[in-house]
Structure 1
């Protein structure tokens, strides 16, 4: 083999090795870029989910603060309006919460649905109480106070339960 042929073969082998090393380096770099992008996507996903959970818990807290009182008088029209708005906020937050749940009709769906029902029943009791007081005057309406107190007690324990469900969901292994 002549020196020229040997030089061409050496250059060809060097070029093939350089291309192979370059391709391997490119593949490794792309794999790392994909891992980083996935990690960023998962972080954004979990940040958004955490914010959704926080908004839901805030809506529940607002409602509970409005209904949890020791008043023996029926709610005023303004109080009913504020409570209705708080219940509406819970329902909007519940819709978003359910959309983001991983499993259809999973633990969050069940807990949030039960809690939304409790809040709706509590609000209906307040409306009935106000209506009865308006129609019949302020006679013995203690059954409404008793029901309100029972609902607020159930709501408080249900909020504690759903807070645990949401915390467990946030601390699951991350996988989008």
Structure 2
């Protein structure tokens, strides 16, 4: 067991095409299937199927107004998040932390770094994200980080399996916002 603090020895960098397969594996492990149950961010009880694929990850990597921020420790990818510059605000998404490392403060450090980058690189004054409303524990975590619920929702894309196979009929996304 590594006795270092969760945030020790982290390296942040923009993902490259060569990272796509490792990032897909990380994201899948954090959200779907039995491996995701090792952490607390699992969606396994509300969605089956894939969370993303190499095509989706490459689209984020290649997006001209954003990046897929990759977090490494000892040369191994352990977390990632999407940052995209949109009309004066930044969008935060595709956030994944290795399930075996969740709950030790790593996510808090990564989101703080993402907010700093959005503010310093783009002059963003707000960070936006969407979260499935059924994920009350996750929404509460973001609220503790200063995000507020807006009540603005969009429907889950039922019938589009590339977003997962819903296990319940009431899924929707809510916009969360934080002033930077």
The TM-score with structure 1 as length reference comes to 0.25
Larger fraction in strand = 2
The TM-score with structure 2 as length reference comes to 0.24
If asked which structure has higher relative contact order (CA below 8 Å, sep 6+), I would say 1
Higher Rg of the two aligned structures: 1
Larger fraction in helix = 1
